[in-house]
Amino acid sequence: MSSKKFAVIGHPIGHTMSPFIHKRLFELSGIDARYGVFDIPPENLEREYETTLKKLDGFNITIPHKQNIIPLIDEIDEKAKMYGSVNTVAIHNGTAKGYTTDPDGFLKALESAGIAIGGRVVILGCGGVARTMAYEVALKKIPVLFAIRQEDREIAVKLCHEIKSALPDSKAEYCLIPQLSGDIDLLINATPIGMFPKTESQPVDDKVIAKCASVFDAVYNPLETQLIKKAKANGSNAVGGMSMLVWQAVVAHEKWDNSKYDVRDIEKICIDASKELENR
């Protein structure tokens, strides 16, 4: 039997961690597969889909193709439809179905770290990553508070309105980061603050971190940001973004071939992927 064929597409896509992570996952599941990287400019997406992508067993999608791939594929999962975004396509018997695995990757990262979504949840930032996480919190009927910069106020207003319109029972509000105070059950950093090479930066001050029971940082390089280190030093339950990156890849494999993985194996991949980043 020939190897199965998978890939990741995007533009530009020179520094993706996808091949490293997916190769390890295929090794764990014992599936003979090859995983490629295709840099596809937006104007070439439709042609490449017809000539190359639809002949694969599946593929991952990153910026800027997460929306533009939707009209080309045969079906779309309900959650992907809700988000209006597809980052994984599974092709079975010639039918291409699109999914978004980022939300489930986020939930599984929290679950594997023993972090529950509940109480007072604060999300730092109001961009695309924040939107994904906010919807997952709101779907659990838990209020969301975005802590933002002054210049992002208009974006935050629109996002709060969008969430409340899509989920009428939800509660979504915002405040400026300097106004943030009080106890926080779960703090989520959905900004790039603390990312390599500016690893000494942190999105909120120490007083805020000290009030957090649990912390999730979407930044995955480094493995432990200043935010995560300080949260752990305070005794908080904290996990970084590499866990989400790997878990969303795990969910892709569930869609491709129903593979199941041990939590300890995934934790090992997170550590190894971080070392790989450092080596690069």
Q: Are strands 121-124 and 184-189 parallel, antiparallel or unpaired?
A: parallel
Asked if 104 and 85 count as a contact pair (C-beta separation under 8 A), the reply is no
DSSP 261: -
Q: For residue 139, what are its two tokens?
A: 């779907």
| Residue 275 known to be catalytic | no
C-alpha 93/C-alpha 180 separation (Å) is 52
Q: For residue 195, what are its two tokens?
A: 């990312």
C-alpha 186/C-alpha 189 separation (Å) is 10
Q: How far lies 230's CA from each of 194, 197, 201, 226, in Å?
A: 12, 18, 12, 6
Nearest to 134 by CA among 151, 156, 149, 153: 156
Asked if 86 and 153 count as a contact pair (C-beta separation under 8 A), the reply is no
Q: How far lies 213's CA from each of 59, 63, 115, 122, 133, in Å?
A: 37, 33, 9, 12, 18
**Exactly one of 4, 54, 55, 66 is catalytic; which is it?**
66
C-alpha 89/C-alpha 96 separation (Å) is 6
Nearest to 184 by CA among 145, 152, 218, 217: 145
CA angle 239–244–247, rounded 5-degree value: 125
DSSP 74: S
By annotation, the residues acting in catalysis are: 66
